[in-house]
Amino acid sequence: MADQTKKMKVLNVGGNNKAIPLPPYFKDFEHLLLDIDPRGKPDIVSDARELDQLEAGLVDAVYCSHNLEHYYRHDVKKVLKGFHHVLSGKGFAEIRVPDIPAVMKTLVDEEKDLDDVLYDSNAGPITVCDVIYGYGVEIERSGQDFFAHKTGFSSASLKKVINECGFPYAVEIPSARWEILVYAFKDYSTPFLHELVKLKLSKE
């Protein structure tokens, strides 16, 4: 008989370090950090393109915030298929990426240049160029090109590639102004999926 008291696990892919908080609904999850950069002391030092080397069904959730855009277009499917591999049958992935069409619209509508500041963050001012190509300050400071952005997404293109990688359900929820937030599910009967659908419908 399965242990009903077993703590659920969330795999934070490319989260840098555990000082950066996860969404509050993960508070009761065991937090496993996976990152290619050992400086943040991740639990698993690994390239997210190699998630298929981990145990199948290892976690109940994957959290991937502003990491998927750091892979070349042809490698995005490797990462997403890795999410599918490590997730349990009722598991889900929360995926956040920059909203490139929204950034482009702002660029035109507000007559901004690539080096103009789009918004301020805890790390400092973020320019249009930073959102499209990666945070220039960190890339220069670290000398690591894995901090660069190598692809971009629209809402439609992100949901399409999620579906192509084995997730039949991709639910988008309104998020920050220049961010796309999509939840990917393996199974329609997951209770969290139904809660998200209700939330999405209530906002439309």
Is residue 145 situated within a structural domain? no
pLDDT value, residue 1 = 36
pLDDT value, residue 2 = 45
Contact 69, 152 (CB under 8 A): yes
pLDDT value, residue 200 = 67
Structural domain count, the chain: 1
For residue 120, the one-letter residue type is D
Question: What token pair was written down for 137?
Answer: 């300050």
**Which CATH number characterizes residue 166's domain?**
3.40.50.150
Is residue 104 situated within a structural domain? no
Question: What token pair was written down for 32?
Answer: 């496993």
Q: What angle do CA 63, 147, 30 make, to 5 degrees?
A: 25
For the chain, what is the total number of helices (H) and then of strands (E)?
A: 6, 9
Is residue 170 situated within a structural domain? yes
Per-10-residue mean pLDDT, the chain, length 204: 70 94 92 93 95 96 97 97 97 97 95 94 91 93 89 98 96 92 93 79 58
pLDDT value, residue 5 = 60
Q: Which domain holds residue 61?
A: 9-98+151-202
pLDDT value, residue 144 = 85
First vs last C-alpha separation in the chain? 42
The number of beta carbons lying within 10 Å of the beta carbon of residue 33 is 22
Question: What token pair was written down for 149?
Answer: 């952005």
